[in-house]
A and B are shown apart, each in its own frame.
Chain A
Amino acid sequence: MRSSPWPDRIMPLALAIGALLTTTAFLLAFLVAPLVAGATVGSTEVIGGIAVSNKLLLSQKIFFFHVPVAIVSFAALAFTAFYSIRYLMTKEPQFDTRARIATEIALVFIIATMASGDLWTRFDWGVWWVWEPRLTTYFILMLLVIAYFILRTAIDAPERKATFAAVFGIITFVDAPICFMITRLVPSSIHPVVFSTESGMSPLVLVPFLLALFGMLLVGFSLYRVRLRQVTLTDRIEQVKQQLEETWQNRNLMEG
């Protein structure tokens, strides 16, 4: 019996810390983080010459959930690309499994991002969907990840399936930086440039955000490890089953 590797041992702890951090961040986001420089609930605030009701300002809290989840989805896709390259270099099935699971995690977080973003869109813009650059590229990213799984189910031969999926996983990753950079390339009023020295976040906003980000990364990592362990164990059970079957058949042959 192989002992479990270190990431599996710290996984429950990572999951607990991740859950704790994200929860704390949400509480902080609502209780501590200011709306916008001194605005209070129950009034309207003038931002950039436009009066904004505090109801809309409150919806800005989505920032503390939506952005960390989206970043985890990009991180998971980066792992897909990384393990896909490793697979093409080594042809070891374990890297293919890892790439596949990273993509599964990416899909979960992409759907969470889409769902939370869509609620915000409905609330703030009054429509469910707009073909805005960031939305569009992210939607395309979701379609690509779904296509990755459709591709996998359409091929039977295991090695060919793994190779084709790896190639597609690498190409898919090209869209991730495009989606990440699009707010810098095509300025949009809705998605601000968050990661820059001039994003203008006060510490009371920045701290909950970073807590949420770190917490979400831990949650994503733990989910990945849980799923990886489950899949490797399933594979091992299948192998044992096959071996047993073979031994049983051989014995039958010898006795019969």
Chain B
Amino acid sequence: MARASTPNPSAFSQFRTLLAKDLRIEFRTKEMVTSMGLYALLVLTVYGASLAQTAWGFNILQMAGGLLWVVIIFTSLLGLNRSFSQEKEFAALDGILLVPMDRSVIFLAKMSANLIFLLAIQIITVPLFAFFFLAMTTPANTAPLIVLPLLVGSVGIAGIGTLLSTITMHTRGKDVLLAVLFIPLIFPLLYACVSATSMMLVGTDDPGAIWRSLALAGGYDVIMILLSWVLYDFLLSA
């Protein structure tokens, strides 16, 4: 008699299950999006105070790209710090590790979840930022294109961040340590994304420079995510 064996689930369906789990938890608790959204709003409020004295004295458009990325970086740090906190409760991660599957699937699922949260926050934060600070300015025609650097940057932040939050999950003083590891490592990406965003908002004579920045950011994403993907197995088995 042929044994009825259940077929081994494909990597993609494993990925889907893990991602759906994170999204379902988020949908029920709304923990991440609320805390990250509120934090982003608070950073914007701080900007309001910091810029209040100079508000109309200078062209804020020149700085807008940089300011926008500051909100994104700090908000993502907050989210990344918490991304593994639920996995540590009741040893949920150990349960996942018992499943015979490729560890990099766990990385990709976690990274996708972090990416989705980050993008959801940006959908709220970016228009809010424009509403608060850019209402009196006239951005260049290329302004809608900032979606591209935001997307490329978020992918990199989610990838590097997921790897690093796995490292810091087991350490003392993990919140500070994540920032110490994350900010220098994200720096080349941040630099490229800020320059692309600024050029798109202000307008530039040299459109090639925008694409060069974006290509630099994209290349950094690819290298970092490939490396993280390869190295993730070692992190989880330690």
Contact = CB atoms under 8 A, between A and B. Distances in A.
B52 interface: no
A163 B171 contact: no
Given A163-B234, A163-B235, A136 B181 contact: no
Nearest to A182: B188
A256 B227 CA distance: 57
A121 to B, nearest CB: 19
A207 interface: no
B164 to A, nearest CB: 8
A152 B235 CA distance: 14
Contacts of B188: 137, 140, 175, 178
How extensive is the interface on chain A, given as a class?
20 to 34
Nearest to B183: A143
Contact of B235 (A143, A147, A159, A167): A167
Contacts of A214: none
Nearest to A155: B171
A36 interface: no
A147 B184 contact: yes
A172 B163 CA distance: 13
Nearest to B174: A154
A241 B177 CA distance: 34
Interface in A123-167: 136-137, 140, 143-144, 147, 150-151, 154-156, 159-160, 163-164, 166-167
A136 B195 CA distance: 14
Contacts, number: 67
B204 to A, nearest CB: 15
B234 A154 contact: no
A175 B190 CA distance: 13
B191 A170 contact: no
A92 to B, nearest CB: 14
Given A150-B177, A151-B181, A155-B171, 14 more contacts: A143-B183, A150-B180, A151-B177, A154-B168, A154-B171, A154-B174, A155-B172, A164-B170, A167-B231, A167-B235, A168-B181, A171-B227, A172-B185, A178-B188
Interface of A: 88, 136-137, 140, 143-144, 147, 150-151, 154-156, 159-160, 163-164, 166-168, 170-172, 174-175, 178, 185
Interface of B: 163, 167-168, 170-174, 177, 180-181, 183-185, 187-188, 191, 216, 223-224, 227-228, 231, 234-235, 238
